[in-house]
Structure 1
Amino acid sequence: MAEQQQDGAIRGRARGTAPVPLSVLDLATVGSGLTAAQALRTTVSLARLAERRGFHRFWVAEHHSMPGVASSSPAVILAHLAAHTERIRLGSGGVMLPNHAPLVIAEQFGTLEALAPGRVDLGLGRAPGTDGATAAALRRADRLSEGADEFPQQLSELVRFLDDDFPDGHRYARVHAVPGPVQGTVPGGVQSADRPSVWLLGSSGFSARLAGMLGLPFSFAHHFSSANTIPALDLYRESFRPSAVLDRPYASIGVSAFAAEEEREARRQVMTGALSMLRLRTGRPGLVPTPEEAEAYVFSDIERDFVDGWLANVEFGTPDAVREQLNDLIKRTGVDEIKITAVGHGREARLRSYELIADAYELPVVTGA
C-alpha cells in the first residue's frame, strides 16, 4: 500500500497549460548585502508561493563551504518548511548520501515523514556537494573515492532501514530507524501508511543506470550538466526495470529559469548567477552579487566564453519567452517533470519570477495555501 501511494505521489498531474508538472528547486542562495537568515526566510516564502500557485514539489539541496548557499542541512530546512506549508511535496534535491550514515538519513527523513505525512521525497546523490577538503572533513576519511564507490551499498542499507526489512542474521537486523515501520510491530503500535519516496539524482550516467535498474524515479541536473542530459535520460530509460515503486520510468530535470516583465531585467538577474558560478568555478566562491555588481564586472575573453556557455543553458526572458523555452526543453528531453531553480539576487525578484512563470502556464491559485 505504501509503495502504491509513493507511485501516486510521484505521478503528479500537470496543472493549467503546463505539459508536465512544474516544481521548484531552491538553493537558499545568499545575495551580497544579505544574511543567511534572510535567505532562509526567502526559501520559506518561495515554498509558500509554490504551494499557493500549484507547483508540484519544493526541493532543497545540500551544499557545503559555499558562502552564497545556505542549504547545508536539508533535513533542518525541510522540517521548517513542513511547519509553514500544508500540501506541497517537500524533498531533498538532494542529500549527498556518502556524507552521512544511512541510518542517520533514515531517521531524519522518517522524522520528516512523521511531521508531514505523505509528502516527503528523499532525493539522493553520490557527489560530495563541495570541494575535496570539505568532503574529507564531513566524512572524516582520507579516501574520498570510498563514498562514491560504496554508494549502491549505502543506498541498499538506507532503503532497508526505511522499510525495516534487514534479513535475519544481518548485523543490522535488530537496528531500527525510528520513526519507522518498527513502531507498527510492537504491542499497541500502529503502522504509518507512508514512507519517504526515494529518488536518485545525478549529473552523469552512473545514477541514471542505477535508478533504472532499481526502478526508482530519477532527477538529472540539467542546470549544470546539460551536455549529459539526453544521454543520461536515455540510459535511465533503457536500464529501467519495473519495481514495487514504479511500473514505468519517471524522469525529471533541474532547470535554471528566470522570468521578468522585461527581457533586460531577466538578463540582469541571471548575470548575477553567471558571475557567481564563474567565481565558484575559479576558486573564488562568494555571495551572489547584485545586478549592479555583475553589470560593472569586466570579463576577460576566457571568462566571457564561460559565461556565454553557462547562459546558453538558462531559460530567461519575459514570461511568454520562458514558457516557450521550457516547453521546447520538455519536448526535446521527454521528461515527466521539471524542477525550476531561479538564481538571482534578492527576494522580490526571485519570488516574482516564479509568480510570472505560474501565470504564463495558467497555474491555478490554490485557495487556503
Structure 2
Amino acid sequence: MTAARPVPLSVLDLVPVSAGSSAATALANTVDLAVAAERAGYARYWLAEHHLNPGVAGSAPTVVIGAVAAATRELRVGSAATLVGNTRGLQIAETFGTLAALYGPRIDLGLGRSGAPAPGTPKPPSLAPRSDQVVDGLLVPAPFDFHVAPGSRFALQGELLGRVPGDVDRFEGELELIRGLLAGTWSRDGAVVEAPPASGAPVELWIHGSTGGESARIAGALGLPYGANYHTSPGTVLASVEAYRDAFRPGVLDAPHVIVSADVVVGRSSSEAEELALGYDSWVYSIRAGVGAIAYPSPAAARRDPLDPAAAESVADRVATRFVGDAAEVADRLETLRRAAGADELLVTTITHDHAARVRSYELLGAEWAARGAGAVVGESALAAR
C-alpha cells in the first residue's frame, strides 16, 4: 500500500522511564533518540508535558526541547503540548522566543487547554455509550468517559500547579497574548509592548485537542494548524478533526492542516513487536486509575503480573488502537489512519522497556516510510512548504 501523497512522519516523546531505570537515564535516552530520529528522516520531535508521574520524566518539556535542539541540526523541535492552564502566556512566549533565538527557525509551540472551568459553568454531557466502529478501515472505539476523582494524582497536580477554577476559560486570551507577543504587535494603552526575545520570533504555533470541543473550534476559527490525538483519545479523534475543519476560516493558513498521533511499536518481525509491546496495558491503566504512570514494565514483568479482567477492559480501547507489528504492517495501519482522518502529517509515539528496541522501532518505521516515498525533507516545515 502506498500513501496517496507525501506525509511527514514525526516523533512524540513522553520521556518514559523504564522499570529499574531512572529519570536521568530517560532524559539521556531522549537526546539519543532525537539524534537517531533526525538521522532516520523524521520531520519533527515534539515533547509532551506531564507532572507527578513516576514513569514519565517529561515534566519540563521546554528544558528538554533545548537539549534536543542542541543535539540536532535540522530537526524541528517543539511541544505537544504546552498546557496553558499550568503557566502564563508571557512566560510561554518568552521561553519559546528564547529557544528560537538559540536554535533558529525550527521551534514549534503546541498549545493545549487545561484546568477547571469557572463555578456555574454547565458540565459537558457525558460521552454517550456506543459500540466500537470501523471507519474507512480505522477502528474508532467507544469514547472513554474520563473523570478526575478527588484525591487522584490529577487532582494533586492541579493543586500543586496553582490551578484555580476558571483557568481553562482564559485559554483564548492567553493565546491572543502569545500570538501578539511573538508577532511583535501586542499593545497596551496604544503602545506596542515588546517582550524580547519573543518579539518577532520565528516560532510555529499549533493548537492540540482531543475532542470536537473548544480547542478544535479555536484552532479552526484562527486558521491555525491542529493536532488531533488518536493515541490518547481514539474514540473522539474523527469528531475532533471534523470540528476543526468545520470551524476553519483562512487565517495563519489558507487551508486546514492536521497532524494526527498514534501509538506504535515496530519490531523486526510481528512476534518480536508483540513481545516488545507487553506492559502497555498496565502502563495505561496506571494513568487512567489516577495513580500516575508507572515505570514502564519489562515484558517478563508484564507476563508475571497481568491486569485483572476489569482493569484490562478499562484500557481495551487504547490497546486495540496501538499499531504493533513489523514495519510494513505498522506503515499500512498508519496509512489507514491518514486516510480516515485526512491527516496532513502523522505523529508517532513509541514506548518500550528497552531503549535500544525503541530506537530500532523508529528506525525501522522511518526506513519503511521513506521507501514508500511517503515522507518529507527533515527540517522543512510542511506549513512553510504550502
1:180 counterpart = 2:198: yes
Q: Whose helix fraction is larger, Structure 1's or Structure 2's? A: 1
Q: 1:240 to 1:303 in 2, by over 3 A?
A: same
* TM-score of the pair, normalised by structure 2: 0.82
2:348 match: secondary structure: strand
**After the TM superposition, which residues 266-345 of structure 1 pair with which residues of structure 2 at under 5 Å, given as runs?**
266-285=273-292, 286-345=294-353
1:72 counterpart = 2:59: yes
1:64 match: secondary structure: coil
Which of 132, 151, 157 matches 2:155?
132
Distance 1:273 1:267 in 2: 11
Contact kept? 1:90, 1:121, Cα under 8 Å: yes
1:141-186 Cα shifts (integer Å, max 9, x gaps): 4x3x31111111111111112122123516xx564322133xxxxx
1:187-236 Cα shifts (integer Å, max 9, x gaps): xxxxx6x5211100011122111100010000011101111111111111
Distance 1:284 1:167 in 2: 43
**After the TM superposition, which residues 349-364 of structure 1 pair with which residues of structure 2 at under 5 Å, given as runs?**
349-362=357-370
Contact kept? 2:94, 2:197, Cα under 8 Å: yes
Superposition RMSD in Å: 2.3
Q: Which residue of 2 aligns with 1:12?
A: none
Deviation at 1:345, TM superposition (A): 1.0
Gaps of 5+ in 1: 1-14, 182-191
1:256 counterpart = 2:263: yes
Contact kept? 1:261, 1:319, Cα under 8 Å: yes
Deviation at 1:262, TM superposition (A): 2.2
1:165 counterpart = 2:185: yes
Q: Which residue of 2 aligns with 1:149?
A: 169
Q: Which residue of 2 aligns with 1:200?
A: 207
1:227 match: secondary structure: coil
Q: 1:365 to 1:164 in 2, by over 3 A?
A: closer
Letter of the aligned partner of 1:179 in structure 2?
Answer: P
Identity %: 35
Deviation at 1:268, TM superposition (A): 2.5
Q: Which moved more, 1:340-349 or 1:264-273?
A: 264-273
1:319-346 Cα shifts (integer Å, max 9, x gaps): 1111111111111111000100002112
Contact kept? 2:282, 2:306, Cα under 8 Å: no
Deviation at 1:365, TM superposition (A): 12
* TM-score of the pair, normalised by structure 1: 0.86
Letter of the aligned partner of 2:258 in structure 1?
Answer: A
Distance 1:212 1:271 in 2: 38
Q: Which residue of 1 aligns with 2:217?
A: 209
Deviation at 1:49, TM superposition (A): 1.1
Deviation at 1:19, TM superposition (A): 4.1
Letter of the aligned partner of 1:275 in structure 2?
Answer: S
Distance 1:134 1:284 in 2: 11
Distance 2:69 2:248 in 1: 32
1:306-331 Cα shifts (integer Å, max 9, x gaps): 34322111011111111111111111
2:11 match: secondary structure: strand
1:21-76 Cα shifts (integer Å, max 9, x gaps): 10000000001011111111111111111111111100001100001111111110
Distance 2:315 2:246 in 1: 34
Distance 1:284 1:82 in 2: 32
Gaps of 5+ in 2: 116-147, 379-386
Q: 1:271 to 1:341 in 2, by over 3 A?
A: same
Q: Which residue of 2 aligns with 1:92?
A: 79
Contact kept? 2:184, 2:192, Cα under 8 Å: no
1:149 match: secondary structure: helix
Distance 1:288 1:259 in 2: 17
State the number of aligned residues: 336
Letter of the aligned partner of 2:282 in structure 1?
Answer: L
Contact kept? 2:271, 2:325, Cα under 8 Å: yes
Q: 1:133 to 1:304 in 2, by over 3 A?
A: closer
Distance 2:290 2:198 in 1: 42
Letter of the aligned partner of 1:288 in structure 2?
Answer: Y
Contact kept? 1:19, 1:327, Cα under 8 Å: no
Distance 2:311 2:107 in 1: 40
Distance 1:297 1:99 in 2: 35
Distance 1:151 1:168 in 2: 19
Q: Which residue of 2 aligns with 1:50?
A: 37
Contact kept? 2:111, 2:207, Cα under 8 Å: yes
Q: Which residue of 2 aligns with 1:8?
A: none
Distance 1:49 1:282 in 2: 34
Q: Which moved more, 1:146-155 or 1:261-270?
A: 261-270
